[in-house]
Amino acid sequence: MTLKLSRTSAGQSAWSSDELLTTFRDPGGSLRLEAESAVREIYPVARESVLALLGAEFYLRAEARGDVISSTVEDDAGGLRLLHPRVAVPTYPWEWTASQWRAAARLTLNLCVEALAEGWILKDATPLNILFRGARPVLVDVLSFERWDPQSSLWLAYGQYTRTFLLPLLMHRLLHWPLELSFFRRDGYEPAEVYGALGWTQRLSRAALWPITLPTWLDSRKGASERATQAVKRGGDPELNAHVLQRTLAGLRRSTEAALPAVAGSAWAEYTQTSMHYTAADHAAKQAWVAEVLERLRPAFVLDLGANTGEYSLLAASKGAQVVALERDQAAAERLFLRTCAEEGVSQKIQTIHADLARPTPAAGWENRETASLLSRLADRFDLVMMLAVIHHLLLMEQIPLPAILALCHRLTKRYLIVEWVPVSDPMFQSLLRGRDALYGHLSEEELRAATAGLFREVERFALQNGRILYLFEKP
């Protein structure tokens, strides 16, 4: 943490209709986004607690590791503010893979355990407090920490953690409920709600018994006043209370790990190994050409659309780029994320987003301005956008017009675009055509060039032996 006492003003807090609202749910402060920083206003009621937190040893360690967002402090007549660096491309839980959920949950529990040892605790435990830098989660809500009451053995955020972390993961594993449903469930699932969706074998399973079945049974037998009375019971030995809390957190960690489903396969997750229309020579030629372009251009920030399991994302990262890898197939995105975690030196260079470019995440929340749309978070941020073997999917599976695809690419890139053109004769094109020859059977490179008119100029063209064409375009 950098401590800076200044007399500067807080800056303008007004926002246009295209910007996010200043946050309003936390009684301790609010957050607004500015060009270079996320500015957190600390209300007087939370001032002393926040200053104490920023000097706590556990917090300084977590900040130094990158587990908590760094803060620059401005303390003047206008009040206390924290300036946090902007995360380049923030993502939300509904755009994460299962292993990203687990990584965010691990960080939340680990920070709570570490804080507890020094008399602090998390009062909030939701995936919405976590962002990703590359493959690493980071807690961004400083106001989630509060002093621990040594007279209590209850973790008040237990229910929130269960609803927003554990139950979505568990229902994803047991019933294959998509994690993307969290878009509609900011506050997660109630145990009684998911209990009704489970069969008796699942209800009595070890995975569901404690977080779902028993709470549902108990709630049906107790009145609200009795539960409220039990919730506020305090007293006992502080050391024993801390021990109980540590056991509670350890139990949640075990339950969360057990809730993670096995890494699934899919046709697209196996695409690189099973694609019969690509020979080893074609693969090598394509990779060598892309590597040479990356080496020559040296883009700092790359967007890999349709990244699959990350072959070209890793290539871009090896050339020094920060990479955002977007993949709509769940299994492929999961493998991509796990691969970036395992590959030495790239865990902070490649950020996985599980999303569909043809149906991108919309803005949401109050007035549609609490969480930004995916395209607004991606637009005009990248030195290079790669669309390798993607355009024909958008054309044939989603029926997106070619000019619209190129117009979107123009919005996303600041300068360069790599496109892999798949001809009509290609086996993959034919498998997706499905008898619609009259609509798409005439497509050629001329249509691609026409769609780029006024948006891009052609820099380079490279033909593979299998008939596919690699293009490098540049904004004029």
Q: Are 236 and 151 in contact (CB under 8 A)?
A: yes
195 has pLDDT over 70: yes
12-28 pLDDT, tens digit per residue, is 333 333 478 899 999 99
DSSP one-letter code for 177:
-
Domains of the chain, residue spans: 17-85, 93-259, 271-474
Residues 6 or more apart whose Cβ sits within 8 Å of residue 404: none
Task: Report which residue type is found at 333.
Answer: A
6 has pLDDT over 50: no
Q: Are 118 and 57 in contact (CB under 8 A)?
A: yes
Looking at residues 241-247, what average pLDDT do you find?
Answer: 95
Structure tokens at 149: 């009451």
pLDDT (0 to 100) of residue 228: 44
Q: Do domains 17-85 and 271-474 have the same CATH topology?
A: no
Structure tokens at 366: 């109050």
Looking at residues 92-121, what average pLDDT do you find?
Answer: 98
Q: Are 100 and 132 in contact (CB under 8 A)?
A: yes
Q: What is the CATH number of domain 17-85?
A: 3.30.200
Domain 271-474 has CATH 3.40.980.10: no
pLDDT (0 to 100) of residue 261: 87
Structure tokens at 295: 């080496």
Q: Are 386 and 314 in contact (CB under 8 A)?
A: no
Q: Are 89 and 351 in contact (CB under 8 A)?
A: yes
Q: Which of 379, 365, 371 has the alpha carbon at shortest distance from 324?
A: 379
216-239 pLDDT, tens digit per residue, is 999 877 654 444 444 445 567 999
363-387 pLDDT, tens digit per residue, is 999 999 999 999 999 999 999 999 9
Q: How far apart are CA 93 and CA 88, in angstroms?
A: 16
Task: Report which residue type is found at 159.
Answer: G
Q: How far apart are CA 142 and CA 140, in angstroms?
A: 6
Q: How far apart are CA 89 and CA 448, in angstroms?
A: 29
Q: pTM value?
A: 0.91
Q: Which of 355, 391, 349 has the alpha carbon at shortest distance from 374?
A: 355
pLDDT (0 to 100) of residue 269: 53
**From the centroid of its chain, how far is CA 247?**
29
Give helix 330-342 / helix 311-318 axis angle, nearest 10°.
Answer: 30
Q: How far apart are CA 46 and CA 123, in angstroms?
A: 13
281-314 pLDDT, tens digit per residue, is 999 999 999 999 999 999 999 999 999 999 999 9
368 bridge partner residues: none
Mean of all residue pLDDT scores within the chain:
90
Q: How far apart are CA 125 and CA 155, in angstroms?
A: 10
Of 54-58, 76-80, 431-435, 437-441, the least confident: 437-441
Sign of CA dihedral 344, 166, 88, 394: positive
pLDDT (0 to 100) of residue 387: 98
Structure tokens at 286: 């394509």
Structure tokens at 464: 């593979």
First to last CA, the chain: 42
25-73 pLDDT, tens digit per residue, is 999 999 999 988 999 999 999 999 999 999 999 999 999 999 999 999 9
Q: How far apart are CA 415 and CA 419, in angstroms?
A: 13
pLDDT (0 to 100) of residue 9: 30
